[in-house]
Amino acid sequence: MTSRSAKRTELLLQKQSEQESERLLRMVGDISIRWNSTYDMILRAMRLRISLRNWLDEQILQEPGLERLALSNMDWKKLRYIIVLLRPFTEYTSLIGNTRDATINHTWNVYNALFDHLDMVRKKLDCKDLTKTLWIPEFITAIDIGTEKLREYYSQTGGPMETQYALAAMLDPSQKLGIFASPEWGREWSTKYKKEFVDYWRTNYQDLAVIDDQP
């Protein structure tokens, strides 16, 4: 709403200046084709919560219908939960998107970390008193749907591409076979991928001539 009106943006900046002397911030829009934009939008709104409330109060005086945009304390609490839920996704997409190095070797680690995160958040929500937090089932449903979508993407690292992901992971000097030592994996996977690694080397590299560059 503020991004579409220079006047409203200016008023929001004014409300910020009344609260603090730090760098003034504009709102961030939720852009469907931009990763992390929802997270960035909510995080910025949390940062400007007081200024936004003061800004909206003044807007409501001119347009009473804008009262529908006011967020309750419960709404802000929900947004805090969404930030916690989305933070790892934001961190990983930013990390991968900003690097110039290969990232295929980290693929399975990232997926496992995200699955663990969703599982942890869901378990914490399961322990909440539903009589006091009636909105918890909505979040649990959203987490379950998100987990299924994540599994859908994760399944694409299997099939014909599975060996490539395994080789890339094992060729990473920082992990090698150690990647399969974590609880997400069993001993059988380490044995399986080690055999595939050796077989791939024998098929593609064993018979290649070794060139000695030494004088």
Do 51 and 19 form a contact (C-beta atoms < 8 A)? yes
Dist CA 107 CA 169 (whole Å): 8
Average pLDDT along the chain:
89
pLDDT of residue 211: 62
Q: What percent of the chain has pLDDT over 70?
A: 94
Dist CA 113 CA 174 (whole Å): 17
pTM of the model: 0.84
Q: Where are the domains of the chain?
A: 1-71, 72-157, 160-205
Residue 74 identity: M
**186 pLDDT higher than 90:** no
Report, as an integer, the average pLDDT of 144-164.
96
Residue 212 pLDDT class (50, 70, 90 cuts): low
Dist CA 180 CA 183 (whole Å): 8
Residue 92 pLDDT class (50, 70, 90 cuts): very high
Least confident of 4-18, 93-107, 164-178: 4-18
State both tokens at 36: 């992390």
**45 pLDDT higher than 70:** yes
Name residues whose C-beta falls within 8 Å of residue 160's C-beta, 6 or more positions apart in sequence.
Answer: none
Dist CA 44 CA 40 (whole Å): 6
pLDDT of residue 4: 58
Name residues whose C-beta falls within 8 Å of residue 181's C-beta, 6 or more positions apart in sequence.
Answer: 190
pLDDT of residue 1: 55
pLDDT of residue 21: 59
**89 pLDDT higher than 60:** yes
**39 pLDDT higher than 90:** yes
Dist CA 114 CA 36 (whole Å): 15
Report, as an integer, the average pLDDT of 109-115.
95
Write out the H or E segment, with its range, that includes residue 38.
Answer: helix 37-47
